[in-house]
Amino acid sequence: MSDDLQKNVLNSPLAANFWQTKSLLEMNEAEWEALCDGCGKCCYRKYIQGRGKREKLYYTRVACNLLDVDTGKCCDYPNRFKLESDCTKLTKKNLPDFGWLPQTCAYRLLYEGKPLFDWHPLISKDPNSVKHADVLIKHGIHEKDVIDWFEFVIDEV
């Protein structure tokens, strides 16, 4: 999410605590977008090794080239799908595929019936709360600057 979009979402008229009263499927587009905390973790590259019960998901510090690694925000959110062919749009239809999202992701938390963290901007009312809560991935590096992703594997985010 871009800084401008996050500010617009936080300043738009959303029903109070809508995430506690509506299911993900019932949310409108503004509510859906407001769930994004802007951590940028979904914009870091991941890879899967193995299959079935032996499948393991690995997270990396390798970021999409559009991600501002210092803020966790997309540098061109409106055009991200045109500029990055493997950018994934999170929708209500692909909810069952959210297993790769980080444990802190609001979409994943709500899908699993869990509450949002206190640092989430919807609760804290602070668009920078993700950074203040130290949730951003440290030492991110852009994909264009990486030769071997395996050098940048990190623990689950």
Q: Residue 97's closest CA among 63, 57, 60, 66?
A: 57
48-87 residue pLDDT tens: 888 888 888 888 999 999 999 999 999 999 999 999 988 9
Query: CA-based Rg of the chain, rounded to a whole angstrom?
Result: 16
Structure token pair of residue 152: 């940048």
- pLDDT of the residue at 17: 95
In a 10 Å sphere around its CB, with 0-12 CB exposed, 13-18 middle and 19+ buried, how is residue 155 labelled?
exposed
CA-CA distance, 61 to 153, in Å (whole number)? 7
Q: Residue 45's closest CA among 152, 127, 125, 139?
A: 152
pLDDT at residue 157 tops 80? no
Q: In angstroms, how far is the first alpha carbon of the chain from the final one?
A: 18
DSSP assignment letter at 130: H
Q: What is the mean pLDDT of residues 36-43?
A: 93
The pTM of this model reads: 0.83
Contact indicator for 62, 146 with CB cutoff of 8 Å: yes
